[in-house]
Structure 1
């Protein structure tokens, strides 16, 4: 099962038929994906799920309906146990960005964190869950598949927001500030913090 976010609402991708009485389920192979996405984004509507019998092919079947874009990002910790956040489009977020040609996903994640925050000396310490969300660009839907990594750095130099990417602030945050930031963040970012709140 996967959660695929449309705006901040999760659409369930599953190989289980009829996962709940209130849930509206569509066959992934046969559905009009544009219509399903519109329904899934309606905050007043019922929960939506997409069904395919083969659980291992759920994402590949969805990618046949919506072109995929791959991205990498980081949940970065320092020696004080703080976590690095960016502020973009009036929301707290984690640094991330699209892969470049010939680049592996770990390289993408480190490069994007460096570019968006000005931080350096990053080391990947753990692989985190992949997140999925659907957005619209130039009239067409895209599926963004973001690979996340926990990272560590001892770099204490000045943080520099990448203004050309509409990032206006970069900040290290501790536990209470993290909880406040997550109240004004995205649902797929909150998923990464289920087991990842700094001490």
Structure 2
């Protein structure tokens, strides 16, 4: 299933409603033409009490998802889930929310290089090694009255030792911390839905390893 996040809501691209979620929290829009869809989509975005959105279409979900992404300017970003030798995860706190370190890619910069750079800049963690790629995330946001879509490439990383962290305060980061399993629930309760839904399986694997 393809997902895009906007504020605390999720936009699903699928041909059926996920029956694990109450049907009353899902609004449906049928994607027939770009013009028709955008009109209904903007109405949904400005609704005071938005429900999650299910986008229905008679074409392949992947094709429809790509068409949707093409409606907005893409902003490329990259970041990492970083674990140290003590089996702790690196989190940053920005504007009251916990998150993983990430940031915009420079023009022509590879996602792997950008992810390593952003983690180092935002937290001073290192040395870092990329272990493998993780699922991408997409979320919509408004900037100067225009809607943009941020496409973030994520990577699982290892950090040697347990270096002292220095939050990048000029980027609005108030804290950088190594979080162990004992504080994980507290931190996840104050993070973004996309972190829990898309990167949740990696966090669950971390829990299971620490339980061994």
TM-score of the pair, normalised by structure 1: 0.89
Q: CA deviation at 1:58?
A: 3.1
1:62 to 68, 81, 86: 68
When the two structures are aligned, how many residues end up with a matched partner?
197
Q: C-alpha root-mean-square deviation of aligned residues, in Å?
A: 2.1
Does residue 1:178 correspond to 2:188, yes or no? Answer: no
Runs of 4+ in 1 over 4 A off after TM superposition: 40-43
Question: Mean Cα displacement is larger for which, 34-43 or 128-137?
Answer: 34-43
1:194 to 176, 201, 209: 201
Q: Tell me, what secondary structure is at the counterpart of 1:150? A: strand
1:51 to 42, 56, 61: 56
1:120 to 104, 123, 126: 126
Q: What do the CA deviations read for 1:94-125 (whole angstroms, capped 9, x no partner)?
A: 00011111111111111100000011211111
Distance 2:89 2:128 in 1: 13
In structure 2, stretches of 5+ residues that fail to align are none
Q: What do the CA deviations read for 1:11-47 (whole angstroms, capped 9, x no partner)?
A: 1123x2x537654123064334365155157574443
Q: Which residue of 2 aligns with 1:163?
A: 169
Alignment of 1:55-94 (within 5 A): 55-94=61-100
Q: Tell me, what secondary structure is at the counterpart of 1:109? A: helix
Q: Tell me, what secondary structure is at the counterpart of 2:203? A: coil
User: Structure 1 residues 28, 105: closer, same or farther in 2, change over 3 A?
Assistant: farther
Which is helix-richer, 1 or 2?
Answer: 2
Q: What do the CA deviations read for 1:44-90 (whole angstroms, capped 9, x no partner)?
A: 44431223412332332112211111110100000000000000010
Distance 2:45 2:51 in 1: 8
In structure 1, stretches of 5+ residues that fail to align are none
Distance 2:127 2:101 in 1: 15
Q: Which residue of 2 aligns with 1:26?
A: 30
Q: Tell me, what secondary structure is at the counterpart of 2:182? A: helix
TM-score of the pair, normalised by structure 2: 0.84
Q: Which residue of 2 aligns with 1:144?
A: 150
